[in-house]
Structure formats: C-alpha cells, structure tokens
Structure 1
Amino acid sequence: MADNVSPLASFSLTHVYYDPSDPISYLCAFLALVPQALCVVYATLIWSTREAEVALMFAGQLACEAANFALKRLIKEERPKRIHGKGYGMPSSHAQFAFFWAVAVALFLVVRHRPRPRQGAARSGGAAANETPVGGGGGAGGSGSRSMNKGGIAGSGPATSAPGSTAAFRGGALGPLTAWDVERYAHQPWSLLERVAASAVALVLAAMVAWSRVYLNYHTPKQVLAGCLAGAVSAVAWFAATYVMRQTGLLALALDMPVARWFRLRDLVTEEDLCQAGWEKWEDRKLRALQAKSK
C-alpha cells in the first residue's frame, strides 16, 4: 500500500529554511515572509480605502515582480552552493520587492503627500495662550479645572473633543503637556519630520529583509545588492509614470470610468490624511452629540 501513497510537497511561497539553533536565523525566517505580509497589507488597504494611489503602488509592485522574473531568466546566475531554494538567484526577488516598497513609500510620504493644514485649528481660537498644563495641579480654587469646559478647551466655544480625550495625560507623567497640546496634535496630519521618520523605518525594514537573504544563504551579496538597486530604480520609474498619469489627466479619466465608479475608487490620499479625516469626522460627530444633549 505504501507504493500507492503520493509524495507530499511544501508550499514554497511561504517555506523558509533556517537554523533552529540560531536565533538570528529564526528572525531571518520571519523577515523572509515580509513580502507576503505586504501583499496582505496592499489588499487590505485597497479594499478598505479604495484609494487609487494604493492600487497604483500595488500595480507597480507586481510589475516589479514581473521584471525580476524576466531578469532572473535573462541573467541565469545560480544561487550559492549551500542553497535550499529553487530557481536562479540574480537578482534577489525579496530584496527587489522590499526596496520597491520602501522607496515607493518614501517617495509618496516625502514628495507626493501634501496634507492640508489641520482643520481643528480654527475651532480652538486663542485658547493656547491661556491653557493650564495637564496634570500641573490647579492650585487653590482649582484653576486647572477652569481651563477645561465640559467637552474641550476653555474659550473655544462649543466642545471640540470628548471629555476623555486628555484624561490620560492628567497624571503628569509626560511632563507639562497642556490640553491644547493634545488637541493640536489630535487635529493635525503628520509633519514632514514624522513622514521622513516613517520612510526611514520602511527603508531599514527593507534592508533587513535583503540582509536576511544572505544570512540564510539564499543569495550572494551581489545578488542582493542587484535586487536592491533594481527595486529602487523600479520604484522611481513607477513614481515618474504615475506623476505623468496625474499631470496628463489619464488618472482622472480612468477614475471616471464606470468600473472605477462602481468600485468607488478615489484619489484623495495625496492631499488628505485618511486617519486624520476619519478622526475629525468622529470628533464632529461627538461635538454634535454633546450639543444635542446640552439643548
């Protein structure tokens, strides 16, 4: 009966060989799964946001993978001798995938993304100058409590946030933060410095993915460096292509097509912080609820 049993195979897309006695090798095994995780992130963001920018980035990512497929079969360079992977090794597909993603994210955050000024600034009026530090004690008579009205910042008219929005800072553990500081941050998109920092994190993660391929003996350093370069060049080229699409109106034309409208595709994220927009809608909803209760 044993002769009738079909041999089993592993799913190579998520199969990684590593040294179980080496903690670094164990970490590298997880880093090898970053591209698969990013595909899940792409699909989730496309479905949840319907943003053209995300869909275009994923399309570029797939085009980059197709280019890697072609390059490997054109160059035909073998992997290292102590190797468990199949196929050619030049350039590294993991390195190319990770660096396309990281450079594309960096170009979007630093170059393309131009978030509008925070919308909540006008509502706070001149309260900043009179705000008492959160957790700073109110002194006799409770001056700290006078700085906050029922729903937000004193002097701002109607409440600008729910009563619990600054309660977490009242212990004073974070220093002399004021309610105005909390509200100001809650009503503003990422600054350029924050976007640069996020881009740096993406690039570091991509570098770690690339390094893991050498550590696990799936690629030579030359193959990994070639993958990094190919991914970065592909990201810049795709960024330029999508810029031309926007400038010539091709993207706007595509978004007006029936299929795009049926899927409710839009192109807002270049000027709008999606988290910020959703947050301010939530704040406005709470404000209306508080105003309705006060009537």
Structure 2
Amino acid sequence: MSSYDPPLASLSISHVYYDPNDRISLVCAYLALLPQALCVVYATLILTTREAEILLTFAGQLACEALNFALKRLIKEERPPRISGKGYGMPSSHAQFVAFWSVSVTLFLLVRHNPPKVMGKVESSTHRPWSVAERGLVALAGLVMAALVAWSRVYLGYHTGRQVVVGCGAGAGSAVVWFVFVGLLRSGGWLKWALAHPLARRARARDLIMEEDMVQAGWEKWDARQQAELKANGDKKGR
C-alpha cells in the first residue's frame, strides 16, 4: 500500500474492505453482499414454493460457482496490489455470480415464462399478469443491479476491469448453457419423470411457475373465498 492510500475499514458483517471516508465505497461494500442475499432468496423460494424451475436455477448457480472456483485455480491471476494476498482474482466470482443470476432471470421472464391472461376459473378484475414490456423492465432492473455489483468490485480494488469482464462473460455464458440444458430436460420428459418420483411428490415439488403468474399465484382461490364469505354474510343480513 502506498503512502497516499487511505486506511481501509472492514464492513463488520462481511469483511469487505472499503474506504470509510468514501460514501460510494460504502455503497459498493453493501453491493458485495448481493450474492449472499440472493442465496437466501433462492433458499426461501425453494422452501416456500417447491418450484422445480427455481431449484434448477439454483443448481445452475452453484455449478457456475464451481466453474469459477476451477477457473481461478487454473488461471492463477492475482488481484490488484491493493487487495493482494486474498485469493486469485481471475475471473471475478461476484461478477460471474450476478451475471448468471441476471441473465437467467432475463431468459426466464422473456423466453420461458408465459402466463395466460386469465388464471384459473375466476377472472380477476383487479389484476393481470405482467406484460412482455413489464417483464422486460424487471429483467432490465436485474441486469442493471448486476452491472453495479460488477463495477463495485473494480471500484473497491478487488478486481481489475478485465477480471470483471471475464467474470461477467463466464456467468452469462453459463446461464445460456444452463437455460438450454434445462430446456432439454423439459423437452425430453426428464423433468416430468423426476417430478413424478415418490420423493418429489413427498416433497410436494411442482412445476407451475412457467404458466402461473408470479404475482397472481393463489390470488383467485383467496379472492373466491373472500367473495363467498361476503356473499354468505350478505345473505345472513338479508334474512
């Protein structure tokens, strides 16, 4: 570290080094927590929805991490001098992680997800599935967030620009390959076979998210119950 470099502090919940005198550096330190937060989101969604698509995406995310682990030890390129001695830097694992996640979300929303306009037997007058444009905006937000995380790694001095670009490329490429692989599992009937297995049925695994509106899911059933209760209460008052 040169004499003019400011002392670095460690964000206590993550041990991410940042410049305490630089607010942007602090924001970047929090952006570094996105992969951990996404793992929590993955686990929560898997446990609560039991959706096969989410489980398969998380499996691909872990495979992407394994690829990053292998690439770092194959290339053995050091991090920038300011953060040297903290593992290899090529490619950036943060950039690869968020690139896989954001591209996977984009491919799902714009290619695989196709909810019907009317869900179930009850048509809701208060909600409709996301349009293609709305799904595109959500996908764009994910891509922008991933870009910010990747940029933050360079700003904090953990990686060079080249290490981040390679990480983004590896993550995006892995997402496309995994998306195609999952598509082959579907078209070949392997996913349907797996979901029919007694263990999968015991775990209540399902595969509805491609056609079920993610915001609307379960709403019609709840709305029908509420309307039935209101009707029943109205009938009682009318007697």
**Which residues of 2 match residues 94-109 of structure 1 at below 5 A?**
94-109=94-109
* CA distance in structure 2 between the partners assigned to 1:42 and 1:122 by the alignment: 30
Task: State whether residues 72 and 91 of structure 1, in contact with CA within 8 Å, keep that contact through their aligned partners in structure 2.
Answer: yes
Matched, 1:26 2:26: yes
Task: State whether residues 17 and 84 of structure 1, in contact with CA within 8 Å, keep that contact through their aligned partners in structure 2.
Answer: no
For residues 213-247 of structure 1, the C-alpha deviation after alignment (integer angstroms, 9 at most, x for no partner) is: 00000000000000000000000000000000000
* Aligned AA (1:111): V
Q: Report the Cα offset of residue 256 of structure 1.
A: 1.0
* Aligned AA (1:211): W
* CA distance in structure 1 between the partners assigned to 2:91 and 2:45 by the alignment: 28
SS where residue 270 of structure 1 aligns? coil
Task: State whether residues 11 and 29 of structure 2, in contact with CA within 8 Å, keep that contact through their aligned partners in structure 1.
Answer: no
Q: Report the Cα offset of residue 278 of structure 1.
A: 1.6
Quote the residue 1:179 is aligned against.
none
For residues 175-194 of structure 1, the C-alpha deviation after alignment (integer angstroms, 9 at most, x for no partner) is: xxxxxxxx3xx331111111
Q: Report the Cα offset of residue 26 of structure 1.
A: 0.3
* Aligned AA (2:140): A
**Which residues of 2 match residues 9-158 of structure 1 at below 5 A?**
14-83=14-83, 86-119=86-119
Q: Report the Cα offset of residue 274 of structure 1.
A: 3.5
Task: State whether residues 110 and 135 of structure 2, in contact with CA within 8 Å, keep that contact through their aligned partners in structure 1.
Answer: yes
* CA distance in structure 2 between the partners assigned to 1:221 and 1:108 by the alignment: 28
Matched, 1:191 2:131: yes
Q: Report the Cα offset of residue 280 of structure 1.
A: 1.7
Q: How many residues align?
A: 226
Question: Structure 1: any 5+ residue segments left out of the alignment?
Answer: 1-9, 124-159, 161-182
Q: Report the Cα offset of residue 120 of structure 1.
A: 8.6
* Aligned AA (1:249): G
Task: State whether residues 122 and 220 of structure 2, in contact with CA within 8 Å, keep that contact through their aligned partners in structure 1.
Answer: no
Quote the residue 1:211 is aligned against.
151
Quote the residue 1:237 is aligned against.
177
Q: Greater RCO between the two (CA within 8 Å, min separation 6)?
A: 1
For residues 109-141 of structure 1, the C-alpha deviation after alignment (integer angstroms, 9 at most, x for no partner) is: 000000011249985xxxxxxxxxxxxxxxxxx
Q: TM-score, normalised by structure 1?
A: 0.73
For residues 8-63 of structure 1, the C-alpha deviation after alignment (integer angstroms, 9 at most, x for no partner) is: xx999922000010000000000000000000000000001000000000000000
Question: Structure 2: any 5+ residue segments left out of the alignment?
Answer: 1-9
Q: Report the Cα offset of residue 100 of structure 1.
A: 0.2
Evaluate the alpha carbon distance shift between residue 261 and residue 241 of structure 1 in structure 2; reply closer, same or farther with a 3 A threshold. Answer: same
Task: State whether residues 95 and 168 of structure 2, in contact with CA within 8 Å, keep that contact through their aligned partners in structure 1.
Answer: yes
> Alignment partner for residue 141 of structure 2, among 189, 201, 207?
201
Evaluate the alpha carbon distance shift between residue 268 and residue 33 of structure 1 in structure 2; reply closer, same or farther with a 3 A threshold. Answer: same
Evaluate the alpha carbon distance shift between residue 294 and residue 271 of structure 1 in structure 2; reply closer, same or farther with a 3 A threshold. Answer: same
Evaluate the alpha carbon distance shift between residue 56 and residue 121 of structure 1 in structure 2; reply closer, same or farther with a 3 A threshold. Answer: closer
* Aligned AA (1:27): V
* CA distance in structure 1 between the partners assigned to 2:118 and 2:99 by the alignment: 32
**Structure index of larger Rg:** 1
* Aligned AA (2:64): C
Q: TM-score, normalised by structure 2?
A: 0.90
For residues 93-117 of structure 1, the C-alpha deviation after alignment (integer angstroms, 9 at most, x for no partner) is: 0000000000000000000000011
Sequence identity (%): 62
* Aligned AA (1:74): L
* CA distance in structure 1 between the partners assigned to 2:112 and 2:119 by the alignment: 20
